[in-house]
Amino acid sequence: MLGFRRKEERSAAVSVQTRPGGGHAPLPVGAGERELYRALRQSVPIIDAAIYKMRRLIGDFKVRCPDPIAQERLQRFLDGVQVNAGGTGINEFLGIYLEELITYGNAVGEMVMSGGQVGALYNAGLRDLELEDDGALGIRVSVLEPGGKRECGHRELLLISALNPEAGSIWGVSLLRGLPFVSSVLLQIYETLGTNWERMGNVRFAVTCKPDGAGSAAERARQMAGEWKNAMSSREPRDFVAVGDVSIKAIGPDNQLMESDVPVRQMLEQIVAKLGLPPFLLGLSWSSTERMSSQQADVLTSELEAYRRVLTPAVLKVCRTWLMLEGLPQDCEVVWDEITMQDEVDHANARYYTARARKLERELELSGQERGDNL
């Protein structure tokens, strides 16, 4: 086990233990399901957009410590810590962490040691890891490599979260569970629409010629077919000249496309209901006066607060580990910014009506006291 040391006792850097080696490794448990969710985000833009919006709507936070010096140093560390290869700040780490959590139901991160201190934060990919129950209410993390699997020995440096896990399971539940079937129907409708438009947009013609008996009919048909092909393939306007009784008709102009508005909306309603975001935030204008009601704002706020409750333990573990290694008191708390989903005008009106109600209540109390004194 890696023992925590004070800042004065610097040690050599520790490599990232959750990063796999080269070569092809065996597939971990649930790899097929996670690959399906990854493909789902790539195929259905509205799902990918919803996850990115949740990442930005989660908001920012501050860490409070009883010691103001410790708080200032800790905040400076959180703002400037290296994340993965090219990121900076714990918000970057939490954004990727939340994306993994929503998409796959689990997220794994690591505090990378450097010189006896937390030098960086690393988001581990679930495609290279295997999570196992160690039988003592803990999680054993192993890295899958070509020669087998390698267990991560320094569990105190790992950050592991699960989203809405089932009873007795260490695996979380992806927010996208239940969407593959609905999305497959939606994609099938889109693919059919594209095929129909390709057929009807690229007009086919039927050229009918009634020969007058002079010359070979086959030879005249070949000449006419060649001239028609040259006329249709030319990028510039070109006339088609034929001799005899020739008629040209478009194939399929009377065919009508199936109505897709209703089935597409039904599929999108199921997707939006699962994602938990109002439709207009995803670019769906189903109403001319679409806006977020107070009930929708309350529901969305509760959803974001649920994600914050999952992220808070990971943030606290990073903060307390850094404070311990610095020899500072480990007392700290995470204070998230208030989630505001309504317009500032609505907040101002709410404060105005609240102040007015309090004023009326005080006036009624004073008038009641005066009547009592007169009696």
pTM for the full predicted model: 0.73
Please state, in angstroms and as integers, the Cα–Cα distance from residue 131 to each residue in 97, 123, 128, following that order.
Answer: 16, 15, 10
Q: What is the pLDDT of residue 250?
A: 67
- Contact residues for 55 (Cβ-Cβ < 8 A; gap 6+): 95, 98, 99
| Torsion sign (Cα): 29, 273, 160, 113 | positive
CA 265 to chain centre: 21
Residue 236 makes CB contacts below 8 A (sequence gap 6+) with: none
Helix (H) or strand (E) holding 141: strand 139-145
User: In the chain, which stretches have pLDDT less than 70?
Assistant: 1-15, 21-29, 199-204, 211-216, 235, 237-238, 240-241, 243-244, 250-258, 287-294, 341-348, 372-375
Whole-angstrom Cα distance, residue 242 to residue 240? 7
pLDDT, position 299? 78
| Interstrand relation of 148-151 and 139-145 (parallel, antiparallel or unpaired) | antiparallel
Rounded Cα distance between 309 and 104, Å, is 18
What is the predicted pLDDT for the residue at 28? 65
CA 13 to CA 119: how far, in whole Å?
Answer: 9
DSSP E strands in 176-307: the ranges are 204-210, 245-251
pLDDT in tens, 215-248: 567 777 777 778 777 777 776 766 766 766 777 7
**Tens-place pLDDT, residues 180-197:** 898 888 888 888 888 777
Q: Which long-range contacts (CB under 8 A, 24 or more apart) does 361-367 make?
A: none
